[in-house]
Structure formats: structure tokens, C-alpha cells
Structure 1
Amino acid sequence: MADLSDPPAPPAAPAHAFELPRLTSMLWHALPRFVEGVIAPVAVFYAAFVLLGLNGALVAAVTWVYGGIGWRLYRGHGVPGMLLLAALGVTVRAVLAAVTGSPVVYFLQPTLGTLLVSMTFLASVPMRRPLAQKIATDMVPMPEAFLRHERVHRFFLRISLLWSLVFLVNATISLWMLFHESIGTYLWVRTGLVAALGAAAATVSVLGFRRCLRHVNAEPAT
């Protein structure tokens, strides 16, 4: 017989409930990757470009990428497949830029890639398979019951549209500056604008997701 003096057990959480990790912990998790993948390559390329010219900058850019891979291997860490693909892409871009003698060639490919990413986000919306959801679940595992919720699905559709627009603006700014400004102006002004645009979109995404969470978690279990 149950002990009547025991306090009643708390009600079970709904199957669709989900708790988002603290925003500060996510930012600290993402900051080193942002510095390594966005800020440092620009600084390395530009410093070498000023001191050593185009070929020196290309060598420095390739060395930075493969140095990162070597450092991971030295520390016994696995090398992500995406990093290996990025290294291959940087190598091909550097060779093409060295052959043509134009730094524009080096930066044109990732800009066109950004445009392709924008179109991919956009195409995922009418297909009802929002790319934003796939990326979010890669970063933060979420229960299937939560992801099947209609409000959650609508949220990821809207966020996919938002990021499609962000990448489209990113590519447009990059292409215009690449053909109308100096490489120095392109590197720093474009990087700052793109970082600010991405930060604003990320803030909207996180705040919108938190709002969605409050509504979903407040619903009673069915």
C-alpha cells in the first residue's frame, strides 16, 4: 500500500515538451568556431596579401586550413568531413586564383555557394521539409514528438524563409563589393556587414524559437 504521507508525484511533462539549452552556453560553444572559421581566415589572408602579395596570401590561406586539420590530428581529435571538404575547396580556389592572377576568382566561388544555399533554404519551404529544422537538430537534438508539433513545423518554415533572405542579401552584397571595391574593403566591410546580418538573424531565430517553446510546452499532454 502506498504511503499516504508521501507527496504526490509531479505531473508528467507532455511528450512534445522540450527545453532549450541556455543562450550563453550556446554562444560560448559557437564563438570559437566563428573566430576560427570567419574572423581568422580573413585576418590571415589580408595580412599575407599586404605583406606578400596575392600568391603569399593564397599560400597563407591554404596553410591556415591544413594547419587546423593538422592541429586536430595532433591533439587526437577527429576531423569533420565538412572541414576536409572546405580544405579541398580552398585548395582548388587558390590554384585557380594563382593561375589567373586574380583574387576575385578566389572569393567568387564561396559567394556563388552562398547564393546556392539561399536557394536551397527557399526550395525546402514548399517541399515542407524546412532546412532550418535539419540544421537545428544537428546542433541540438530534439525529440520527434516536439518536431512533429504543427507550431514547431510552422516556425521552422518561417525561419527557413528568413535565412534564405539572409543568404541572398549576403551574396548580393558580396558580389557587388567584389567587382566594385578593393580587396581590402571587400574583406573587412563585407565581413562586418555579413557578421552583423547573421547575428541579427540568429537573434531573431533564437528568440522566435524560445517563444515557440513557451507556447508548445504550455500545452497540456494529450
Structure 2
Amino acid sequence: MTVLLPPQAAPVTLPRLGALLRHATPRVLEGMVLPVAVFYAGLVLFGLYGALAVAVTWVYGGIAWRLAKGAPVPGTVLLAAGTVTVRAVLAGATGSPVLFFLQPCLGVFCVSMGFLFTAPLRRPLIQRVVTDLLPLPEHLLEHPRMRRFFVWQSVLWGGVQFLNASLSLWLLLSQSVQTYLVVRTSLVAVLLGGTGLVSVLSLRHCLRRLGR
């Protein structure tokens, strides 16, 4: 789908849904599914401290693999490595796996507030996320229809992430670690996957209307 722009500007083309899914799936597996699976396997086989060691080894092993291939290491991966190290040290020092998972829950709460509080601003947080994934020309971002789209997306993602954090925190404090890992991973995959699909379809609809 192509949006018509002024003659001096190149058309903005949104990749097909299948291409977006192929692009996102490895990142979802690496960032969400496999770390939980690795931690859970370590917990079953080696107990809490073994699971913490396996989780840290997994993250730093991913960095070493990228360096060995000569591939750049994203800043987000380095940040995740530092974060998981601190979480593992705190959980290991206290003997409580709850501390290992508490920080991500609180982080999701902060993200949800960021989406909601920046919704009425000229450049809401969700706009920065979208333009990182799909660069859009400035004059298109200023269009009233696009601004309404970003307000709607800010409210949508703010509400979804608040629900995600609330349910995750409840599971963490009321269920076993095993139940938390299985249920939360499945819940987040369905919740964020469905919301992501709604966002992509909404963006396609918005760009199509602008291209008329």
C-alpha cells in the first residue's frame, strides 16, 4: 500500500503484514519466549540459583554470538544484559525469585503511564516508537488524521500495558513461579500480539485514507 505524497517526496510504503510478522517473530522469540523457556528449564533442572545462572549465561551468550559473527550488538541488548545481571544478583542474594521478575512488572507500569501521559502532546511516545520502525515524513506526521491515530494508539497501548503489568504483578504475588512463567508468557503473547495486529491494521487504514 502506497500513500500519495507531494511530488518532491518519495511514496511511503508500509510492508505487507506477512513481512512485518517475519521481521518481528525472531525478535519476539529472542526477547520474550526463549528467555522464559531457558529460565524455566533451569529452574526445573537446577533450582533457583541454577536458573539465575542459566538466564545470565543466555543473555551474555547472545552477545558473544553476535560479536563472534561480527554483528553489531544493539544498545537494547546491552541494557537488557545489565538489567538481568542486577536482577539475578538481587534474587540470588535474597533467595527470592520474586525480585527477579518484579522489576520488569514495574517497568511495564512506567511504560503504560508514558503512553497515556504523552497522548495529548505534540510528539507522543507512541509516535517515536512507530517512526523508529517505519520512518514517515514530517508533513505526514503533522496531518490531523495522523495525530488522531497517535492519540488513539497511545490510549490503546497505555491501557494494554497497564493491564499487562497488573495481571503480571497479580500472578507474581499470588501464584508459584512456575505458574507465573507459563501463564504470563502465554497471556502476554496473546495480548501484545493481538494489540500489535490491531495497530498495524489501523496504520494501514489511516495511510490508505490519507492516500485518497
Q: Shorter-chain TM-score: which interval?
A: over 0.9
Give yes or no for contact 1:128–1:157 (8 Å, CA) kept in 2.
no
Structure 1 position 105, deviation (Å): 0.5
The one of 114, 125, 128 aligned to 1:120: 114
2:76 corresponds in structure 1 to: 82
Q: Deviations over 1:36-89 (max 9, x none)?
A: 111100110000001100000000000000001000100001111111111000
Q: Partner letter of residue 36 of structure 2?
A: V
Aligned to 2:152: 158
Structure of higher CA gyration radius: 1
- The reply to whether residue 57 of structure 1 matches residue 51 of structure 2 is yes
- Structure 2 stretches of 5 or more lacking a match? none
Q: Deviations over 1:3-37 (max 9, x none)?
A: xxxxxxxxxx4328632111111110111011011
Residues 18 and 217 in structure 1, CA contact (< 8 A), matched pair in contact too:
no
Q: Deviations over 1:104-155 (max 9, x none)?
A: 0000001000000000111111323221111111111112221121101110
Q: Structure 1 length normalisation: TM-score? A: 0.90
How many residues align? The count is 206
Q: Which amino acid aligns with 1:162?
A: L
Question: Is 1:24 the equivalent of 2:24?
Answer: no
Q: Calculate the aligned-residue CA RMSD, in Å.
A: 1.1
Structure 2 distance, partners of 1:162, 1:65, is 31
- Cα distance in structure 2, aligned partners of 1:131 and 1:203: 19
Measure the CA separation in 2 of the matches of 1:211 and 1:40.
Answer: 33
TM-score by length of 2: 0.94
Worse-superposed segment, 195-204 or 139-148: 139-148
Alignment-derived partner of residue 5 in structure 2: 14
Higher RCO, 1 or 2 (CA under 8 Å, sep at least 6)?
1
Query: How many percent identity over aligned positions?
Result: 56
Distance 1:73 1:169 in 2: 37
CA distance in 1, matches of 2:188, 2:81: 22
Matched, 1:144 2:142: no
Secondary structure, aligned partner of 1:142: coil
| Aligned equivalent of 1:132 | 126
SS at match of 1:47: helix
How far, CA to CA, are the matches of 1:205 and 1:103 in structure 2?
34
